[in-house]
Amino acid sequence: MKLVDRFLKYVSFETTSDEESGVTPSTPGQMTLAKYLKEELESLGLQEVFLDDNGYLYATLPANTDKQVPVVGFIAHMDTAPDMSGKDVKPRIVKNYDGTDIVLNEAAHIIMTTAQFPELKSHVGEDIIVTDGNTLLGADDKAGIAEIISGVEYLMQHPEIKHGKVRIAFNPDEEIGLGAHKFDVERFGCDFAYTFDGGEVGELEFENFNAAAAKLTFTGRNVHPGTAKNKMINSIRVANHFMSMLPSHETPEHTEGYEGFYHVVGISGSVEKTVVNYIIRDHSHDRFESRKREFQHLTNKINAEYGDGTLQLELRDQYYNMREKIEPVMYVIDIAKEAMLAAGVEPVVKAIRGGTDGAQLSFKGLPCPNIFAGGMNMHGRYEYVPIPSMEKAMCVMVKIVELTANR
């Protein structure tokens, strides 16, 4: 099966993760895809193919050299983001993209414009896979899965490329911050690994946000509005009060580079009770801790003004900046850079304004920087992936394996 065919097959599986489910994998569709991938890996002839009860799939490409070579691993995630539906994805290939606006859905007047997405211009002349405007595409991270499996298949078809033992793994629930939680690093058995979960061609990332999630529960007091003076506490208004005390420009839409933010991701409520969910992000550990303290400070202010128990704050860390774990083993970055150059790709080392499973895995003892998979505009209807980007990612993987054996 060719790289593109694989990808188009994988996006047909609905694998949206669900933060509220409380089980692993968080949705049954992820296990369905995992079982399909298990059969595919077995049919290719890979060894040690193992799918555990939590939807983590592992496999081995055995070494074809007697030389002592570090074991390198490659990882991608099976789930897609809950931000938009991943059901009934209808991908379309735009052949030889001409640089103009792309009509995704004429009936619904959904258009991906170059004014809104100027990076499209860098893919003129390429074949691009897009959505029909009703769902996300799933290149995050099914492009990574397709690239890794195709790369392994290429190595099997070219035994003249000498390599050590190669391990691959596909996991659930990355999009809800749980992808690495039940990842069996010991079973994986690698000296180092790479996630293929980045965006534009050339991206190489070993810095990411420190991340926390905050759940704010506001409890009000409902009284008939005709007699509510000095009695009613409207939890919706209290929630709005809290939100207004946060810096108005420390949000995703106003920040870039190493700038952190507070991001409200959900709100539901009534006069009696309102729940607001935030994510907190910063590359600096000190600023990250300061942001969390600010949430506690504002919680105390709300409770002082409206009464104890008006606001309950639940704050939990999600992942940390992997830089401190990668810096002692920078050779894993050197290998990736060299592999990109050998594949005709200019490395673009940048900090992730987000996180990957590799961040958590690095703190579990597996150094695991992130490499581009080619997907763009992820998590929404305007997601797309240029086919040459996927092909280059596959080539980079093959070169990493080859270079690891030759170092």
Let me know: does 398 contact 381? Beta carbons within 8 Å: no
CA distances (Å), 331 to each of 218, 335, 336, 345, in order? 49, 6, 9, 18
Rg (CA), the chain: 23
Pairing of strands 47-51, 311-319: unpaired
- Which residues face 269 on adjacent strands? 274
- Number of CB atoms found within 10 A of residue 296's CB: 12
For this structure, is 174 an active site residue?
yes
**What is the C-alpha separation between 46 and 40, in angstroms, rounded?**
9
Which residue is catalytic, options 14, 40, 79, 205? 79
In the numeric block, the tokens 């004014």 are attached to: 115
Query: Nearest Cα to 359, choosing from 71, 55, 77, 48?
Result: 77
Helix%, strand%, coil% for the chain, nearest 5: 35, 25, 40
Calculate helix-pair angle for 235-245, 285-306, nearest 10 degrees.
140
- Selecting among 40, 141, 174, 357, the annotated active-site residue is 174
Residue 50 pairs in a beta bridge with 58
**Residue labelled with tokens 């990332």:** 205
- Catalytic residue numbers? 79, 174
